[in-house]
Structures are given as C-alpha cells and as structure tokens.
Amino acid sequence: MELKQPINPELIDEYYAKWIKLGWYAAGRPYQGSVDPEKLIVETTHIGRYEGRLFKAMLTWVRDYNDLINVQKLLHYINDADQPVLGAVVEIAASAAGALPRMKAILKRCQPLKDAEVLFKETDEFGVYERNQKEFSKKEYLKWGLYCTMTEFYEDAMYNRHYVLMNNPLLAIRALIGPNIRSEILFELEHRSQISITALKEHVGYAYSAVYTEVMNLIRNGYLSNETNGKKQMITMKKPFAKYLKSIPV
C-alpha cells in the first residue's frame, strides 16, 4: 500500500469511520459496512504514520481486543503491512495486555528497519520534532528501527466491549467460538447463500483445503447444507442455525 501526498481527506475520513465502528470514541459517524479488523490494522500501519490519532486508536484496540484478532488472517495480509510499525504495535499492545504469547507468530514475520527513521511523518521545517523523537525515543520502537516517544493509550476515548460486539457481527461470532477459520466461514455465510467453496475461500482468506475441511465438518454436524450445481458444491447455512447466531446476546 503506497500513500500519495497529500493524502486524500476522504480516505482519512474512511479510516476514522472504520475505527469508530470498531469502538474508537472519536468525532464522526461509524462506517456503514462490515470492517475487516486485520485488514484495517495492516492499512493503518501505513496511514497511521501521517495521522497519529489513527495510530493511537489502533494501538489501543490491539491492546483491548487482541483476543478477537485472527492471527492467521493477519499473517495472510502481513506482506502488505508496514512491518516495523506492525511489529512495534503488536509488541507494545500485546505486552500491555499480557497477551504476547499468542501474538508471537506475527512478531516473527515482521522485519525491523535496518536504518532507523522517525515513525510519524510530521511537518518539521526546523527539524525540532525529529531531534526530539530521536533523543527521547522509547526502546520499544528502537528495536524495530523506529524513533517514537509515544507509548500511551486512549483510556477515555474507547467504547466498551458491548458496543463493539453489538456493532460488529464478525467480532461477536469470534467472541463466541474464537478468532478462527470457523468464525470467518460462519460470518460470510450469514450474509451469503448458495456460495461455492472456491468463492468462500476468496472471502475468508484461507487455503482451499482448510476451508473445504472446515465446511465438511460443519455439514457433517448439521450446521450447513450443500447442493450440487454442475461440478460445484453450493453451501448454505441452515435456517435454524442462522436464527441462533442472530439471537446471541452481546
């Protein structure tokens, strides 16, 4: 992901709206569609360098909701991330939450910068900001090749978990059965019917074999149904189970 300067204000507004949808208490309206948390995290590693508030919202969300992050899915996107930024965010936030062990797979895939640079791309005509960041940079950033002095979180600018789960059905499913491939499949099938396993694979971001195995397990246990359409198996969530998912209190 490459950002052109100056950054389109509408693009910035979209990222604000998406983080508001995920629970950031900021001015503006929440995003109207579904938000892919892992994709948003990856994209914010880039735009967050220009918008410090977005970076801080991401840092706080990873601390507060790391249990709902699908690590495997985040690894699927990792080549699109600003990896030093992602590494720093995950390590700082997960350490603060006591959740570092489950996030270590992400850290292993992130590469630090060889030549350190200032994290936030501020307008700095006289170099004062850059000198300050280099002089007082926190060690948590330095190990990733970044100069930054900010490690605090938003403590009074985040909605509670009830708001987050009520407004993000995918996260509500993850809260129930875990942030895994099954959650991704059930979320997609809540909104789609008569979809092939190949098409489903494209939406959930897992390998075909993994999606096929999980779908067959769900069919075997009576949660999904399948019909043959030519050479394709078309998958649908059974109505009683779909009704059950919609009734989950959050």
As a whole number of angstroms, the distance between CA 138 and CA 162 comes to 33
Half-sphere exposure of 67 (CA within 13 A, CB side): 11
Rounded Cα–Cα distance for residues 90 and 94 (Å): 6
Same domain, 19 and 131: yes
Residue 102 lies in a domain: yes
Residue 170, domain member (yes or no): no
Helix (H, G, I), strand (E, B) or coil at 135: helix
* Domain contains 4: no
Residues 6+ apart with CB under 8 A from 27: none
Same domain for 37 and 133, yes or no, is yes
Residues 234 and 117 in one domain: no
Q: Which residues contact 235 (CB under 8 A, 6 or more apart)?
A: 189, 194, 195, 196, 197, 200, 215, 219, 224, 225, 226
pLDDT tens readout for residues 184-202? 999 999 888 889 999 999 8
Domain end among 95, 123, 147: 147
17 and 64 inside one domain? yes
- Burial label, 10 (beta-carbon count in 10 A; 0-12, 13-18, 19+): exposed
Q: What is the pLDDT of residues 203-248, one digit of tens each?
A: 888 999 999 999 999 999 999 999 887 778 899 999 999 888 887 7
For residue 196, the surrounding DSSP H or E stretch is strand 195-196
For residue 203, the domain's CATH number is 1.10.10.10
Name the average pLDDT for the chain: 92
Selected residue with higher pLDDT from 100 and 4: 100
Q: Quick one: DSSP state of residue 158?
A: B
- Residue 152 identity (one-letter amino acid): E
Residue 167 lies in a domain: no
In percent, the amount of the chain with pLDDT more than 70 equals 96
Residues in the chain: 250
Residues 131 and 210 in one domain: no
Domain boundary among 147, 165, 198: 147
In this structure, the answer to whether residues 130 and 203 fall within a common structural domain is no
Residues 54 and 131 in one domain: yes
Percent of the chain at pLDDT above 90? 80
Q: Please give the Cα distance from 234 to 226 (Å, whole number).
A: 5
The residue segments making up the domain with residue 190 are: 180-246
| Residue 30 belongs to a domain | yes
Contact 90, 119 (CB under 8 A): no
Q: Tell me: pLDDT of 5 over 70.
A: no
Neighbours of 88 (CB within 10 A): 28
Residues 44 and 104 in one domain: yes
Asked if the structure places residue 134 within a domain, the reply is: yes
78, 86 contact by CB (below 8 A): yes
**Does residue 26 share a domain with residue 143?**
yes
